[in-house]
């Protein structure tokens, strides 16, 4: 089901900084870098934009810009008089900004809208940065989180193996539960990580660009069993931006390589058995997105999924229907999700290697998939890609992500 011309929404331009450590740049510097790149890609001027949605999850906590971050970042680069909306939805902040921009355009309230996600995580205080992640679950009842992790992953008698965010313990507990249910192995998790590190080696915007073997991943420093450091996303600075428009806006811009937004769906969790993945948030959000786009999982040519850890990718490929339930690890081990495989996943290198600047992550996925659908991804190109999917999650609540996003894009 392709949208009628009156409700079609297009990605006219994308922009993205390099992801990594940018000591000399602020959150707003990074945002402006990405926005200028997206405007240039769309053939747009500052005055072309009717509305902007500015996402950041850490700026208030780490740099004390708690309010009006978007207005300050955008007005200082020349935007004025347009509505600017500030967005926060944990690691799904950028995807949420895009969802809102698409909704604004589809409603007719704007012809052209801008979605931005920017994060400055390296602020000279690593302990403070780690504390940020303790704000992405129910802080009124921290004991409930510990009970949930014990129910999911059992007791683990591990010595302290180094500084890490609480989300590495969350993913580790989920992984141990999956191992118990389906027989997933640590080596299969390492296959996911090795694949993504190999993909990122050819991505000039990636945080890490060093290939690793499965053996390299397995013998690396332990983080939280069964995870090792290369299986986990690094702390990253970066920004990404996307210009979206309707048919009228597309004619105004004259963008040469638009990509169609077939679906963008957000969801939250529901009551379910914590130790079962049968009612997971992604299942429901993905089903809605597939229905809106008029496609099924077998139609997807390439995907970017939320691999804050290797287990995150393994699980999401199953929940999205890209591989059979319980076989995410086997699929990676067999090379099915590698470039050249049956369904390439995270050709950018994913969060594990490209990096994870929280609010920029979802839009960074869209940047990669737009390049894939345009056929401009270079050595990472999936031949003939026509349908692309991005899955992005944020926060943690009652055994699953607090918010999930699925975006489906199609070539023109």
Q: What is the pLDDT of residues 281-317, one digit of tens each?
A: 999 999 999 999 999 999 999 999 999 999 999 999 9
- To which H or E segment does residue 302 belong? strand 302-304
HEC secondary structure over the chain: CCCCCCCCCEEEEEEECCCECCCCCCHHHHHHHHHHHHHHHHCCCHHHCCEEEEECCCHHHHHCCCCCHHHHHHHCCCCCCCCEEEECECECHHHHHHHHHHHHHHHCCCCEEEEEEEECCCCCCHHHHHHHHHHCCCCCCHHHHHHHHHHHHCCCCCCCCCCCCHHHHHHHHHHHHHHHHHCCCHHHHHHHHHHHHHHHCCCCCCCCCCCCCHHHHHHCCEEECCEEHHHECCECEEEEEEEEECHHHHHHHCCCCCEEEEEEEEECCCCCCCCCCCCCHHHHHHHHHHHHHCCCHHHCCEEECCCCEHHHHHHHHHHCCCCCCCCHHHHHHCCCCCCCCCCCECCCCHHHHCCECHHHHHHHHHHHHHHHHHCCCHHHCCCCCCEEEEEEEECCECCECCEEEEEEEEEC
Question: Average of pLDDT values for 358-377?
Answer: 98
| 119: pLDDT strictly greater than 60 | yes
Q: What is the CATH number of domain 126-232+263-411?
A: 3.40.47.10
What pLDDT is attached to residue 361? Answer: 98
Pick from 12-16, 150-154, 322-326: least confident: 150-154
Mean pLDDT, the chain, integer: 93
| 2: pLDDT strictly greater than 50 | no
Band of the pLDDT at 161, cuts 50, 70, 90? low
**Separation of alpha carbons 352 and 233, rounded Å:** 4
Band of the pLDDT at 275, cuts 50, 70, 90? confident
Question: Average of pLDDT values for 169-175?
Answer: 92
Contact between residue 356 and residue 58 where contact means Cβ atoms under 8 Å apart = no
What pLDDT is attached to residue 254? Answer: 79
Question: Average of pLDDT values for 177-201?
Answer: 97
Band of the pLDDT at 163, cuts 50, 70, 90? low
Helix (H, G, I), strand (E, B) or coil at 196: helix
| 411: pLDDT strictly greater than 50 | yes
Q: Are strands 51-55 and 238-245 parallel, antiparallel or unpaired?
A: unpaired
The candidate with the shortest Cα–Cα distance to 94, out of 63, 70, 129, is 70
Buried b (16+ CB within 10 A) or exposed e, 2-38: ebeeeebbbbbbbbbbbbbbbeebbbbbbbbbbbebb
| 255: pLDDT strictly greater than 90 | no
**Separation of alpha carbons 262 and 245, rounded Å:** 13
Q: What is the CATH number of domain 10-124+236-261?
A: 3.40.47.10
Q: Write down how long the chain is.
A: 412
| 143: pLDDT strictly greater than 90 | no
Q: Rounded to the nearest 5°, which phi and psi values hold at 210?
A: -115, 120
Domain with CATH 3.40.47.10 in the chain: 10-124+236-261, 126-232+263-411
- Percent of the chain's residues with pLDDT above 90: 81
pLDDT digits (tens, 9 = 90+) for 384-407: 999 999 999 999 887 888 999 999
Question: Average of pLDDT values for 361-385?
Answer: 98
What pLDDT is attached to residue 1? Answer: 30
Does 91 qualify as catalytic in the annotation? yes
| 326: pLDDT strictly greater than 70 | yes
| 364: pLDDT strictly greater than 50 | yes
What pLDDT is attached to residue 162? Answer: 60
Q: Which of 22, 28, 59, 91 is flagged as catalytic? A: 91
Question: Average of pLDDT values for 54-72?
Answer: 94
Does 245 qualify as catalytic in the annotation? no
pLDDT digits (tens, 9 = 90+) for 213-237: 999 999 999 989 999 999 999 999 9
């Amino acid at each position: 089901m392709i949208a009628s011309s009156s409700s079609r929404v297009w990605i006219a331009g994308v922009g993205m900084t390099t992801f990594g450590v940018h000591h000399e740049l602020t959150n707003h510097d990074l945002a402006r870098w990405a926005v200028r790149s997206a405007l240039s890609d769309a053939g747009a001027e500052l005055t072309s934009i009717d509305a902007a949605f500015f996402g950041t999850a850490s700026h208030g906590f780490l740099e004390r810009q708690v309010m009006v971050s978007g207005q300050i970042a955008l007005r200082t680069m020349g935007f004025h008089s347009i509505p600017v909306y500030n967005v926060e939805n944990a690691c799904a902040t950028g995807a949420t900004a895009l969802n809102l921009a698409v909704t604004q355009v589809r409603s007719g309230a704007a012809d052209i809208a801008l979605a931005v996600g920017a994060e400055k995580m390296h602020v000279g205080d690593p302990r403070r940065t780690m504390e940020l992640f303790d704000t992405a679950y129910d802080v009124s009842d921290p004991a409930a989180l510990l009970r949930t992790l014990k129910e999911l992953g059992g007791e683990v008698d591990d010595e302290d193996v180094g500084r890490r965010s609480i989300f590495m313990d969350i993913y580790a507990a989920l992984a141990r539960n999956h191992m118990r249910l389906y027989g997933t192995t640590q080596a299969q998790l390492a296959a996911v990580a090795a694949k993504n590190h190999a993909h990122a080696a050819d991505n000039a915007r990636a945080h890490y660009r060093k290939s690793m073997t499965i053996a390299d991943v397995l013998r690396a420093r332990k983080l939280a069993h069964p995870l090792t450091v290369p299986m986990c996303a690094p702390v990253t600075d970066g920004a990404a931006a996307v210009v979206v428009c309707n048919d009228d806006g597309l004619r105004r811009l004259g963008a040469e390589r638009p990509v169609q937004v077939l679906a963008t769906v957000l969801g939250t969790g529901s009551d379910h058995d914590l130790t079962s993945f049968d009612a997971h948030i992604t299942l429901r959000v993905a089903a809605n997105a597939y229905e809106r786009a008029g496609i099924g999982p077998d139609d997807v040519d390439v995907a970017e999924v939320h691999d804050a850890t290797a287990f995150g990718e393994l699980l999401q490929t199953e929940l999205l229907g890209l591989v059979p339930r319980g076989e995410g690890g086997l699929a990676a081990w067999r090379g099915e999700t590698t470039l050249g495989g049956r369904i390439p996943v995270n050709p950018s290198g994913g969060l594990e290697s490209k990096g994870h600047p929280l609010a920029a992550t979802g839009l960074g996925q869209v940047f990669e998939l737009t390049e894939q659908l345009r056929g401009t991804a270079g050595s990472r190109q999936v031949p003939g890609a026509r349908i692309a999917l991005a899955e992005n999650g944020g926060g943690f609540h009652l055994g699953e992500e607090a918010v999930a996003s699925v975006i489906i894009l199609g070539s023109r």
